Amino acid sequence: MNFKMIHTCIRVMNLENSEKFYTEAFGLEIARRLEFSDFTLSYLRAPEGDFELELTWNHDQTEPYELGNGYSHLALGVDNLEAAHRRHEEMGFAPKPLKGLPGKGVQFYFIADPDGYLVEVVQQ
């Protein structure tokens, strides 16, 4: 029996802002949207991938979600880390400084989405 990762879900306060962030910052595309009376699901994916990020917008949520200390981050790979970092700075997304693991060169940086979820951008 083989299992395949298909999506991860995060809850968002403003679906439009979150969709805009993920499409502009990372080039994800909205694959589909499911509208219900009290919540909306928006599935985004990279053009060449099939793993999806599910954004859940609960229409009656009035307070920001508590991210807790268990969540860490999503990760996306990129061919040119420094160029991606510059682009995110120019877009006003305030990425964290470029970093690397001890003894390694620059390998990654983090950026926060509109709800405070961290996204790690990794040199591939």
User: Between residues 15 and 1, which one has the greater pLDDT?
Assistant: 15
Which pLDDT does position 72 carry in this prediction?
85
Which pLDDT does position 1 carry in this prediction?
67
Q: What average pLDDT does this structure show over 86-107? A: 95
The SS3 of residue 109 is strand
Show which residues are catalytic: 120
Closest CA to 61 of 8, 23, 115, 121: 115
Q: How many C-beta neighbours within 10 Å does residue 124 have?
A: 8
- Helix residue ranges per DSSP H, 71-123: 81-90
Q: For the chain, what percent of residues have pLDDT higher than 90?
A: 85
Give pTM, 2 decimals: 0.88
The SS3 of residue 121 is strand
